[in-house]
Structure 1
């Protein structure tokens, strides 16, 4: 009876994504299995997956080990031993299974190695050790080359970052650029990253990985705060600085000005500090804004469980709740309250915009001070290099200058954040009520809070009554 074996194929990098390399390995392995009268019952393919990087999990390799241990296959065929293992620990895991099942078959197209014998295992360990050293040497050379390219402001290859063309990484992609800039405007206007992530997922934006069911929050955050947007070159996630202490600029088209990028980064960082680990999600316009007219407790929106699309019933209501410390005596249908507040707020903001002079973009007043501190740092570093001062002297003077530089940069980021946020909020004056309700609810709330500090909902008395706008009291700033 023919032995049932599996074929394992792997290639570290497949930029085209056509899987041609693993297909060639598959054919050669099947030919070898046929020569040995083995029956190939399963194929394990790790395409575009490294066997050297320790943080990479090879799903098909793990499944192959599981099937070998469970007895679903009687052996494995690979093109070469280094397709299976480039880390000694992976080889030892495979050998451990051969200890448990001594009659397992093993073969490679390029070598004749028997993992069932001491000599074969010794040879396999030597080969994997050499393959591991070869990968280490290649990794060291590649890292040095990437650092050199980064210091020159050049790209180092790989998939094009979202926002730039795949064919030419120095040119921006117009569709992706517009999506990024729109999302950044929403961030400054108070919209959550989670809301943007959901919309991008639905619209196929953000270059999610193939097979991704839910785009990661940090993936969207990285796209919107990537230093590359402002033209900065990074290395291992950090902005690179030249000998003069200034950030190195890349040779590609930027998407943001420095002021725009810093404003978005500051807005996201500030939001994390205010509510670390807590959701900012809102379902209703006046959540956290509406208050009971009797006890002044905050009122929350509550969904009507009996509501169905097309029915005349109210979809939700604002209700003072005893559970939240309220009196439980005041409630109101939600839609007419929201419509009234939206109309009043938009009218107020249009009136304000008509009498407020439009100011041009102001520059941060301490730019010259930051420039001076940056030059001082560069001069200190150069003085130490030219042996004008000692390392000890440099380390005495440098920390204070660096702290001042970082404080000034943070102050600049906050300045432009507040400026951009004010611009985003002032845009509401041009919205219609329909356009207002088409916005994410977080954006709607920011517009309302730009004009109001609270909305008092007064009791309407017993029985079903017609909506009375006079019982809704907006508290203006």
Structure 2
């Protein structure tokens, strides 16, 4: 019987995404199977996947082991043993398969190692151990190189992040505009999930061709990446130089430091305020409207009694016993929304007309932050010049660093409030309704802290605005 063989191919990096490396491996493996008289049952291909990194799962390798265990294939052919395994534990899993089925065959293009024999397994273990050490040494050299590049403010290579052209130094004007627009939406109250859905629908933010899914965390990173304001990062953290100042990269920026800090402050604030909670809502006044009798929060709900084609209300705001309310107040949602929107837009127009145009005042503690950073740099330089001892330096630095970090957080909050004030402005009802729901709610909350809905009595009644009580800020 002709053995049914699995051909396994793998390459660690394929920046272009064309798969040429695994294609060459496959062709060489197929020639070897022809020479041996074996039949190729299936090609298992892990392109652009590391075999050295412990936290990386190779889906095709796992599938191949599963098929071996189930008896669907009779052996494995790979271009080289290190294509299969660079971690001893992965090799041992493969050896266990060959221990259980003595008739399994094995071959590689580059050497003559047979996992079916004791000598072959010993040789394979030695080769994988050396391959593992080689990967470890290469990883250490690469990390050292990346750290050196980071300290110099240079890009570390690889595909350019979204927002920059190939090479990572020049800004992509179209992508940069998408990032700025999304940040403005974020400051105005729109959720990252809403932005992600919109980007995915419009095909924005995909850094590689063929990518269809846009993860939430990736969109968050694109909007809060320290690279946006020029900060160089290393292992996800903003890198500081010997003077304790942020290292500035050699590329064009998309945001100012103040703009970037404001966006980061909004994201962090939401995570701290609503940990693990979805902020998605379907109705404008959900969580804002309150019952005029018991003052419990009122949420919108679909009008299930409405018949198709009917002109009745599509939804209502109902005080619910389930949510801790009295259940004594309910009102057609559309009329309440229209009334509240008109009130809020009128109030904001009146406020804009009566306010005088003044130049935005700068952050009051900017000079203190500059002084603290200068003190940190001076102490560090004094320690280098041996003017003070390291012990003295380590006694003085913590308080200064703590104050520096507090001031940076304060500056971020100041920038966030100033930019949110600019974002929260709409002229017409049409413009208001065209906004995402989260931004509409942010506009409402900018003027109102709550909306009290008072009972209207039984039976159908004409909408009475006097029973809707806005609570102004």
User: What's the counterpart of residue 463 of structure 2?
Assistant: 467
CA distance change for structure 1 residues 92 and 308 in 2, over 3 Å: closer, same or farther? farther
CA distance in 2, matches of 1:433, 1:309: 27
CA deviation after TM superposition for structure 1 residue 228, in Å: 0.2
How far apart are 1:196 and its partner, in Å?
1.4
2:4 aligned residue: 4
| Paired position in structure 2 for 1:446 | 442
1:380 matched to 2:376? The reply is: no
Contact 1:384–1:394 (Cα < 8 Å) also in 2: yes
Q: CA deviation at 1:347?
A: 1.3
**Hey, what's the Cα distance between the residues in 2 that align with 1:296 and 1:335?**
21
Is 1:128 aligned to residue 128 of structure 2?
Answer: yes
Q: Residues 111-122 of structure 1: matches in 2 within 5 Å?
A: 111-122=111-122
Instruction: Report the more deviating stretch, 250-259 or 270-279.
Output: 270-279
Q: Distance in 1 between matches of 2:19 and 2:325?
A: 63
Closer, same or farther: CA 416–385 of 1 in aligned 2, 3 Å: same
* CA distance in structure 1 between the partners assigned to 2:63 and 2:251 by the alignment: 42
Does residue 303 (structure 1) correspond to residue 293 (structure 2)? The answer is no
Separation in structure 2 between the aligned mates of residue 359 and residue 98 of structure 1, nearest angstrom: 79
Aligned equivalents of 1:276, 1:208: Cα separation in 2: 29
Alpha-carbon displacement from aligned partner over 1:88-110 (angstroms, at most 9, x marks no partner): 11111111111111110100111
Residue 473 of structure 1: how far off its partner (Å):
2.1
1:163, CA displacement in angstroms? 1.0
**In structure 2, distance between residues paired with 1:68 and 1:90:** 14
Q: Distance in 1 between matches of 2:87 and 2:293?
A: 70
- For the pair 1:220 / 2:216, whether they are aligned, the reply is no
Contact 2:162/2:207 (<8 A) preserved: no
CA distance in 2 between partners of 1:245 and 1:324 (Å): 51
Query: Mind listing any 5+ residue stretches in structure 2 that lack a counterpart?
Result: none
Secondary structure in structure 1 of the residue aligned to 2:404: helix
TM-superposed deviation, 1:212? 6.5
Residue 215 of structure 1: how far off its partner (Å): 3.1
Q: Please give the TM-score of this superposition, normalised by the length of structure 2.
A: 0.96
Cα distance change on mapping 1:308 and 1:90 into 2, 3 Å: farther
Deviation of 1:148 (Å)? 1.2
Give unmatched runs, 5+ long, in structure 1.
none
Q: How far apart, CA to CA, are the structure 1 residues paired with 2:109 and 2:298? A: 72
- Whether the aligned pair in 1 keeps the contact of 2:159 and 2:167 (CA below 8 Å) is no
Change (3 A) 1:409 1:209: same
- What displacement does 1:465 show? 2.2
* Deviation per residue, 1:403-433 (Å, 9 max, x gap): 11111111111111111111212x22x2x21
**Structure 2 counterpart of 1:163:** 163
Structure 1 stretches of 4+ moved >6 Å: 208-213
After TM superposition, give the deviation of residue 244 of structure 1 in Å.
2.4
Q: Secondary structure at the match of 2:284?
A: coil
Alpha-carbon deviation of 1:75? 0.2
Residue number in structure 2 paired with 1:14: 14
Q: How does 1:6-405 map to 2 (within 5 A)?
A: 6-165=6-165, 167-207=166-206, 215-305=214-304, 311-405=310-404
Q: Structure 1 residues 118 and 308 mapped into 2: Cα distance closer, same or farther (>3 Å)?
A: farther
Question: By how many angstroms is 1:323 displaced?
Answer: 2.0
TM-score by length of 1: 0.95
Q: How far, CA to CA, are the matches of 1:181 and 1:310 in structure 2?
A: 42
Q: How big is the shift at 1:162?
A: 1.2
1:458 aligns with 454
Counterpart contact for 1:8–1:76, Cα < 8 Å = yes
Deviations 1:320-348 (A, max 9, x none): 11222322222111111111111111111
Contact 1:245 1:375 in 2 (8 A): no
In 1: Cα distance, 2:309 partner to 2:48 partner = 50
Higher mean C-alpha deviation, range 60-69 or range 354-363: 354-363
Q: SS state of the match for residue 317, structure 2?
A: strand
Deviation at 1:365, TM superposition (A): 1.6
Paired residues, number:
473
